Amino acid sequence: MTKRAGWYPKAPWRLVLGAATLMALLACGDDADTTSTTSTSTTGTGGVGGTGGAGGVGGFNTGTGGTGDYGCSADLHYVIDANGSQVVECAEDEGCLDGACVQACAAAAGSHGNLGCDFRVSTPGHYPNLTAPPCFAVFVTNAWPRPAMVTVSLGGTSYDVGQFGRIPQNGQPESAWPAIPATGIPVGEVGVLFLSHDPSATLVETGQSLACPVTPALSVGTVLAGSGVSEAFHIGSDTPISGYDMLPYGGAPSHVPSAQLLFPTTAWGTNYVMIATPPGSYATPGPLWGQILATEDNTSVQVLPAVDLPAAGDNSFLAAPANVAVTFAIPAAGQTLQWELAPGSNDLSGTVVLADKPVAVFAGNRFYRNQPMPAPGGDSTHQQNLAVDTMGHLYAAAPFETRRDDMQPEPIGYRVVGAISGTTLSYDPAVTGAPTSLTQGQVVDFEATGPFQISSQDADHPFTLAQVMRSSHFITDGGGTIRAGSTADLHGWPYTLGDEEFVVLLPPAQFLQHYVFFTDPSYPTTNLVITRSHTDAGFHDVDLDCLGTIGGWQPVGSGGQYEVATVDLIRAGVSVGSCLNGRHTAASDGPFGIVVWGLDAYSSYAYPAGGNAAQLTDLVVPPMPN
């Protein structure tokens, strides 16, 4: 292998993410989830590209091409040949794209994954019964082989990351965490960016402070009240990073937290069919809300809303009735259109968005309660949506770890939203009560116990799947008991573990091979749900930094395509192995997915630890009534 020093090979072909060829590959059976690119060669048959790791797409899993064929390793650090052998190691300030070493941020941008150098993050809505806006934080991870110089701005004003950014130290309080140094976030580390809060923020019911443990960039709330236009934070880096957010940070004592995986602007799309948290069982849910965030000036957005959209409080945009296409203008990059729906409204699921420039779409519920009967509990939720061209037509639904004391599986809620009419669905194993067909924007909620595979007829019929954690009252009201894992007994509360959460699942075609992620230190129980895909070489081991090689795999259905496992990092405040909450890494030679779960009494959060946003379909859904 050659170390790059101002040289890279002249590739006789370009590794092209061809949607038409890709869709044919995706429909070919067992390896559908592991193929995302194809190659051609003048000297032989090109190899098949694999789902990339650390945010990248590319590289060969197999191939019989001649020695002139070049691709990219899963982590984007190496040029490889058709046999998967490393040919060139890119320099620290470079990455691999299309079989050649290029500038690192360009390589990450071309990978269309959650790894990137440019993020815009709007502040989500929070639980209404707070005295003031709580702590909003973003976690950024650096898996690149050089430090990442990160910048943060809002509305054109820049803020010194060294003042409010910290490098977490597992097992230590935030007050002991060192500041992000002037040289940047070190290799393999996580930076926690405490962005905003009102220092007086407290939870009314308990008096718990929800201020940031470190003075944030802004000591004022940045969440927009009601409907209108707001500014988003702009996070930049000279080195590819990945990002996640949490509101409130330190969420276990808040009892109303939520988190999400963030995609960089280079992975945003122009077309969406929205999926959103349902209203829930509370008498006055929400408010429910949605956001559209622009990354370029003068962005035009057509919206076909599934529900009535209110006018902006400052009259910056007008109301829009359900099922009537309306065009909205976003004048400047970083501006966010926000709708807070009227009391009694249904959610935004099924809303179609079509923009002339890339946008991000978010949806949430400021107070989501899903209970069998009125009782304490409930959470806020927020999730970034997947663009239509990144939606899958095949998902492996992996249940979170049971909360039952007898360790029997618990029924789990799911929500599925169709992108196009004529979609037919099949399941392995069969799921009673699940839909067998979907129309454009159709929303169906169902329950399942245990893992299952759900698929449509082909990549031209994608859909979105979300998983729901319901109140643990469903277990106790059914005569069951809750297993250990929370701090409820310390407060003298009825024993509960976890609370409502809503997480959008990624299709296996978007899985990675390497993850660097962060778990919130305030949670006494942290669990990982891991799904791995079968490749031509079989199932590959998955290794976690603090536990080693993961075991306990269970099949998903009878097709032999996927296996799932759950592992605790910490349970009821007791570490498993050498695990503590904080920064973690996981890696494999094959594609796999991770969903992180944190649980406490009346409190939970979840987010995918990373994923690609590669194009899986050419489908465009116009904002026209179905």
d(C-alpha 120, C-alpha 122), whole Å:
7
Question: Is 80 exceeded by the pLDDT of residue 600?
Answer: yes
| Whether the predicted model's global pTM rises above the 0.95 cut | no
Q: Which SS3 state, helix, strand or coil, does residue 292 take?
A: strand
273 pLDDT above the threshold of 60 = yes
Identify the residue with better confidence: 122 or 250: 122
Mean of pLDDT values over 188-192? 93
Q: How confident is the model at residue 7 (pLDDT cuts 50, 70, 90)?
A: very low
Identify the pLDDT of residue 625: 86
Q: What is the mean pLDDT of residues 184-188?
A: 95
Tokens of 477: 């009201």
How do residues 409-468 score in pLDDT, each as one tens digit?
Answer: 999 999 999 999 999 999 999 999 999 999 999 999 999 999 999 999 999 999 999 999
**Mean pLDDT of the region 271-291:** 93
Rounded CA gap, 258 and 31, in Å? 34
| Helix/strand/coil percent split, the chain, to 5 | 10, 40, 50
- The more confidently predicted of residues 197 and 36 is 197
Grade residue 16 by pLDDT with cuts at 50, 70 and 90: very low
Q: What angle do CA 409, 472, 490 make, to 5 degrees?
A: 120
Residue 357 has pLDDT above 60, yes or no: yes
**Per-residue pLDDT at 626:** 74
Burial of 10 (0-12, 13-18, 19+ CB in 10 A): exposed
pLDDT at position 56 over 50: no
pLDDT score of 374? 81
Mean pLDDT computed over 252-267: 91
Query: What pLDDT digit, counting tens, does each position of 149-166 carry?
Result: 999 999 999 999 999 999
* DSSP label of 491: H
pLDDT tens digits, 320-332:
999 999 999 999 9
Least confident of 39-53, 89-103, 350-364: 39-53
What is the spatial distance between Cα 473 and Cα 498, in angstroms, rounded to a whole number? 10
pLDDT for res 68: 53
The two tokens of residue 564 are 């799932």
Which of 285, 292, 463 has the alpha carbon at shortest distance from 381? 285
The pairing of beta strand 86-89 with beta strand 2-3:
parallel
**Model pLDDT, residue 52:** 35
CB 38 within 8 A of CB 22: yes
* pLDDT at residue 13 in the model: 27
- Which residues are CB-neighbours of 126 under 8 A, at least 6 positions away? 133, 134, 223, 247, 248, 256, 366, 380
131 in Cβ contact with 200 (< 8 Å) = yes
First-to-final CA distance of the chain: 55
pLDDT tens column, 497-507: 999 999 999 99
Q: Identify the burial level of 577 via C-beta atoms within 10 angstroms of its C-beta, where 0-12 means exposed, 13-18 middle and 19 or more buried.
A: middle
Element (H or E) spanning 359, and its range? Answer: strand 352-368
- For the chain, give the percent of residues with pLDDT over 90: 75
